Amino acid sequence: MTGDRTIEDTLRRALTAEADEVQIAPDALGTIRGRIERRRARWWLPSRPVGLVLAAASVAVLLAVGVATQVIHRPADRSGPGPAAGAASATGTAARGANLPVYYLGPDHLGDRLYREYHVFPGANPSPEQAATETVSAMLGRRADDPDYRSPWPAGATVRSVSADAATVTVDLGGAAGGAGFDATVDTSAAAMAVQQLVWTVTASVPGTTGVRLLLDGAPATSLWGKAPASGVLHRGPAADVLAPIWIIDPQQGTSQGHRFPVRLAGIVFEATMRLRVRDGSGAVVHDDAVHLSGGAPAQGTATVELNLPSGRYTVEGYVISERDGTEQVYDDHQFTVD
């Protein structure tokens, strides 16, 4: 018994020390519970000695440590998946800090639609207020990595304050109502999409949030630039009406990949079928094939395609072929490098 108790005390101290070093992500508990439940049938044997039971418990805690460390960098975005945790940045280095989504407007044959990029911000586990402040500031003033994306907000617009209450985040923007730096040619459609850009960015970066209240220079907004309603609590519009029909998720624009890498796609397309094409630095097509997504319009489906390419510069394109006239439509493209 003395030997068993010594082992038990030693393991308990080791596990306690390890647990004290762990930062648990807000959304880690559900994942941990699911992992434990799936293994419980294999672990639980009532006749096991104390030492073996504690060893199994140590495995459970170490699994929890791994899950918490992994998910802390990837807040959930209900619009679809993002880059893998620790994905390479545009400079080719591993992401350090919070990898958060920012939405931009981009061209589409249906007009302006939303595209999503992930950007790395300081701090591994930001508060809701910090996450919203960082992502909205990037939405307003940080140029998207993809040159095809843009923001219609006035130059010089800033985040004055952010507060989170239950499922609603209140964002007060300064210099965003118009005036200096405002593009007067922004039409009603682009203004409405700018409202959705704000809503999707905030609700994606702050898990559990469903609504956004907009203030302009401290006063509750009634409209944005007199062209789009913006009063009260704003919510996400239907994905099929707001999001671009095709996204290239990975590789992100400007990143570096190994020779074997995944291409991750999302799309809202007829019969869940789109095409994936890759061109080399000379423009020659090195891959072109149909891709079947996990779901079709009006839902956003996803797919992953594994590629193996030699070193060089490439462009990956996602597109569909019109059944009416055979033209290519609604494609997104990213340039990247294979080392």
Average pLDDT taken over every residue of the chain: 79
pLDDT per residue as tens digits for the range 270-300: 999 999 999 999 999 999 999 999 999 999 9
Q: Is the preceding peptide bond at 251 cis, omega within 30 degrees of 0?
A: yes
pLDDT at 311 over 80: yes
pLDDT score, position 59 = 40
Task: Tell me the two tokens of residue 307.
Answer: 């590629």
Q: Average pLDDT, stretch 250-271? A: 96
Task: Tell me the two tokens of residue 27.
Answer: 């959304």
Q: What is the DSSP pairing of strand 168-174 with strand 158-165?
A: antiparallel
Please provide residue 285's backbone torsions phi and psi, each rounded to the nearest 5 degrees: -80, 125
107-109-113 Cα angle (round to 5): 45
pLDDT per residue as tens digits for the range 219-256: 999 999 999 999 999 999 999 999 999 999 999 999 99
pLDDT per residue as tens digits for the range 144-179: 999 999 999 998 899 999 999 989 999 999 999 976
pLDDT score, position 79 = 57
pLDDT at 58 over 60: no
Residues of the chain with pLDDT > 70: what percent? 71
Residue by residue, DSSP assigns 122-150 as S-SS--HHHHHHHHHHHHHHSPPSSTT-B
pLDDT at 206 over 90: yes
pLDDT score, position 180 = 61
Domains, the chain: 2-71 (no CATH), 98-239 (no CATH), 246-338 (2.60.40.2550)
Grade residue 123 by pLDDT with cuts at 50, 70 and 90.
confident
Residue by residue, DSSP assigns 72-119 as TT----TT---SPTT-B-TTSSBP-SEEEEEEEEE--TTS-EEEEEEE
pLDDT at 97 over 70: yes
Grade residue 186 by pLDDT with cuts at 50, 70 and 90.
confident
pLDDT score, position 251 = 97
- 268-305-277-108 Cα dihedral, nearest 10 degrees: 20
pLDDT score, position 76 = 46
Q: Is residue 227 classed exposed, middle or buried when 0-12, 13-18 and 19+ CB atoms within 10 A define those classes? A: middle
pLDDT per residue as tens digits for the range 30-57: 444 444 444 443 333 333 444 433 444 4
pLDDT score, position 242 = 96
Grade residue 11 by pLDDT with cuts at 50, 70 and 90.
very low
Distance between alpha carbon 222 and the CA centroid of its chain, in Å?
29
Grade residue 81 by pLDDT with cuts at 50, 70 and 90.
low
Q: In this structure, are residues 138 and 119 in contact, taking their beta carbons and an 8 Å threshold? A: yes
pLDDT score, position 95 = 53
